[in-house]
A = this chain, B = another copy of it.
Amino acid sequence: MEARPLDALNRSRDKKVLVELKNGRQYLGTLRAFDIHINVVLDDAEERHEGQVKRKIGTTFIRGDTIILISPAQ
């Protein structure tokens, strides 16, 4: 059980995660990297819309200040 949020995020490294953005978009991919600003890098990222894959965008850098939440992919 982690005391700090970034420790918890670290446990998701190299696992599939869902990243939800402030503009409503969702990205599914393997969490390769993150930093204290919550900038993240996803491998094999897919943009999702209402559960459907909208497009595949490969290794993607997402700027932290656009992110609402990061949860395990389901």
A contact residues vs B (CB 8 Å cutoff): 1-9, 12, 14, 18, 21-23, 27, 32-35, 38-41, 45, 57-72, 74
- The answer to whether B35 and A59 have CB atoms under 8 Å apart is no
Number of copies: 7
- The answer to whether B8 and A41 have CB atoms under 8 Å apart is yes
Q: A2-B32, A32-B2, A39-B38 are in contact. Are A61 and B8 (CB under 8 A)?
A: yes
- The answer to whether B41 and A5 have CB atoms under 8 Å apart is yes
Q: A23-B22, A64-B63 are in contact. Are A5 and B70 (CB under 8 A)?
A: no
- The answer to whether A8 and B23 have CB atoms under 8 Å apart is no
- The answer to whether A69 and B74 have CB atoms under 8 Å apart is no
